[in-house]
Structure 1
């Protein structure tokens, strides 16, 4: 059974939310005897442009100051997204982060300019033997992984497991989780410009009437998705066993790492922060949970949301929790320790 620390907070006060996050971090450090390395990146989600319900930068001020006061050099760390949006390339991603107020720290985009830089982490599980994890994650032993618990169209919900699985994966790793095939070229959009051919490091693309991908040569790096000037290359979202693949990539991301997890159960929307549109919360604000077991944390968050709503919201996401427990990522059994934030 894992310990999950919880502070109730239903107010729309981000300054207080930041103080509560710091209180939970201090509690975990105190109770576990956690000792920080000299450099500790904070894994965050900067929010897609147009989204208004991502967790804002001010919620991290207390954590940042605490780390610095304790001789730790923090940074923000992320990977580029798979789809075409405001965070597809490193340049655009950092611009979006700063536009959303994440200016307190240096920003590391771990998988390179178009998401092709990665290390392979061996896990030997049911669906993956190796995971493609953003290369710059390999430099660090410790992370503070912060998550925003909310819905997700494919995963059921987004929390600590998804933040590990998608947030640590390079673009090719994201593609592996979402689909069983190479990227798809939409012939009606393709102008046969050859940019994808020139940029493919594996000789997997050639021009016939339009660009075509040779599945036998494609490694699934998905770099072509990022550089196509007409957005003619996309991925399929119809891959099988997505929940289980998500859990296995989370396992790979956290393997041999020392991580503290903090999850904000606020601004709980139907879809995730990757949706570049304003959304209305579907459940009242609940608070923040923290711990060192991502499976226990996500289970606790799901229980809190379902209890608050009186409905089985995000229930399909339980499949990822079940598989995560099976492969040894963590346990769904937890002890909830509520902390008074007064």
Structure 2
């Protein structure tokens, strides 16, 4: 099976082809009208960004999708799920406040913000899937109840997944906090004592209290969930994981959760991916580092695997930016995210998603 992915590049020299127009046109050519019926409660799944992050998808772009759904007589709402770690999106009250602070107010986006797994992340349903790692996954209740969905994804790097695309947006983004823990199961941080300086910064960032300082940092593996918060902040890069054993399983568990997130919605999900501000880190971190490649544009497809495959190919074909955290693989054709997270082969999530029937890694790219 070969899926179609549509591309609108960033270059523009007249107002009739501005980026807002391009996003609306992508929704049209990718078939949104086939997916939305009159009165459909339509989840617009996105990431509002952790407080301190500023490279999430622009609210003005999200508004174009809201307008497109309303034009088809759908009933859109913006949504995400609560995090398993303590931060500005750990419960619905803080999460909605963060969304508003980041510009996702009703006056801007013309749609309500609903947190899909409820006030404390306990509103979810069990979805049966034919997985290798899971036979049942915990998906947020409002995702399950939505009759259609538009998945808006900011494509960027990720310390454990290599990159975060549509698959990860479905997997982590549609799971309850317990579902997120399911996916991280077996991932445990390890400290290289010869590199650790005992600064204690990892202790302040661990959401589970799994790290303490003796002469060096010590991880209590009985309560470590492998969230990678410590990995991302260690100034000496003294924290790691068992990359060869644990990361491929993690990526497979993500793909299986993504399969559960779209169960029962065949022909009712559109994916729009934003290849702008392509940073090395997830929008879950409370900062935004410099992009690793120039802005490319926007993608749309009805296939989450194909749109991720196209995104990675487009990013890899760019010349890497020298003034970024990219430490190698700057040349076109080289794997950019491995130039940041060299231990992670993120493409495995695409291969496994293809294998389990989430979508196809084979695609045709049509530029509009």
1:2 aligned partner: 3
Question: Partners in 2 of 1:47 and 1:40 — Cα distance?
Answer: 21
Question: Relative to structure 1, is the Cα distance of residues 69 and 308 closer, same or farther in structure 2, using a 3 angstrom cutoff?
Answer: same
Alpha carbons 1:178, 1:237 under 8 Å: kept: no
1:166 aligned partner: 172
Partner deviation per Cα, 1:200-247 (whole Å, 9 max, x = no partner): xxxxxxxxxxxx9x99xxxx9x9xxxxxxxxxxxxx987551111111
Question: Partners in 1 of 2:104 and 2:68 — Cα distance?
Answer: 17
How do 1:70-89 residues align onto structure 2 when only pairs under 5 Å count?
Answer: 70-89=72-91
Question: Partners in 2 of 1:253 and 1:237 — Cα distance?
Answer: 27
- Residue 110 of structure 1 and its aligned partner are, at CA, apart by 1.2
Which of 307, 310, 321 matches 1:297? 307
Question: Partners in 2 of 1:26 and 1:62 — Cα distance?
Answer: 11
Partner deviation per Cα, 1:237-284 (whole Å, 9 max, x = no partner): 875511111111111111111200000000000111111113111100
1:256 aligned partner: 264
TM-score with structure 2 setting the length: 0.75
Task: Please say if 1:130 is aligned against 2:136.
Answer: yes
RMSD of the TM alignment (CA)?
2.9
Which of 296, 317, 326 matches 2:346? 317
- Residue 80 of structure 1 and its aligned partner are, at CA, apart by 0.5
- Structure 1, unaligned stretches of length 5 or more? 190-211, 223-235
2:276 aligned partner: 266
Question: Relative to structure 1, is the Cα distance of residues 4 and 114 closer, same or farther in structure 2, using a 3 angstrom cutoff?
Answer: same
Q: Which runs of 4+ in 1 moved over 4 A?
A: 181-189, 236-240
- Residue 188 of structure 1 and its aligned partner are, at CA, apart by 6.4
- Structure 2, unaligned stretches of length 5 or more? 189-206, 214-219, 228-239, 320-331, 339-344
Question: Partners in 2 of 1:115 and 1:172 — Cα distance?
Answer: 8
- Residue 118 of structure 1 and its aligned partner are, at CA, apart by 1.1
Considering Cα pairs closer than 8 Å and 6+ residues apart, tell me whether 1 or 2 has the greater RCO: 1
Alpha carbons 1:150, 1:157 under 8 Å: kept: yes
1:196 aligned partner: none
Task: Please say if 1:59 is aligned against 2:65.
Answer: no
Question: Partners in 2 of 1:36 and 1:9 — Cα distance?
Answer: 31
Question: Partners in 2 of 1:131 and 1:96 — Cα distance?
Answer: 27
1:228 aligned partner: none
1:28 aligned partner: 30
Partner deviation per Cα, 1:52-110 (whole Å, 9 max, x = no partner): 11111111222222322332211101100111111111100000000001013211111
* Deviation larger for 291-300 or 79-88: 79-88
TM-score with structure 1 setting the length: 0.80
Which of 78, 97, 116 matches 1:110? 116
1:68 aligned partner: 70
Alpha carbons 2:53, 2:285 under 8 Å: kept: yes
* Deviation larger for 104-113 or 126-135: 104-113
Question: Relative to structure 1, is the Cα distance of residues 298 and 185 closer, same or farther in structure 2, using a 3 angstrom cutoff?
Answer: same
Question: Relative to structure 1, is the Cα distance of residues 187 and 64 closer, same or farther in structure 2, using a 3 angstrom cutoff?
Answer: closer
Alpha carbons 1:296, 1:332 under 8 Å: kept: yes
- Residue 33 of structure 1 and its aligned partner are, at CA, apart by 3.7
Equivalences, count: 298
